[in-house]
Structure 1
């Protein structure tokens, strides 16, 4: 089982998510697409089974996204 926590930030038209360890990152034009990309990024690092995820806004331009694989 892998637990991945991403800090997500918006700058202009792009959302970027970066793992707390700093080794995983993805960008997209919407939070929906960013979540999809970050799940795939996490699965490439640890694909042990099913996936659970949780996306929570902290401010309108920042959020925390957790993926459990």
Structure 2
């Protein structure tokens, strides 16, 4: 699956995200919904298994979201 990196911005009360070096994008009214939509977009592009995501605010109006395949090297990956 690889790593999907999204640049997120908040303008006029709505969060928008565009994939860095890619075509995926999404928008939502909250960061929670935006992150959920970005996970779904990544799964739609390559549904090879479980994923994990991170959402990091850079400023009150910008953030970076990453979605990547879950692996056993990560401490919170599911076992089994």
TM, length-normalised to structure 1: 0.94
Q: If each structure's strand is expressed as a fraction of its own residues, which one has the higher value?
A: 1
| C-alpha RMSD over aligned residues | 0.9
User: Mind listing any 5+ residue stretches in structure 1 that lack a counterpart?
Assistant: none
Runs of 4+ in 1 over 2 A off after TM superposition: none
Q: How many residues align?
A: 69
TM, length-normalised to structure 2: 0.82
Bigger radius of gyration among the two: 2
Higher relative contact order (CA 8 A, sep 6+): 1
Look up the match of 2:24: 24
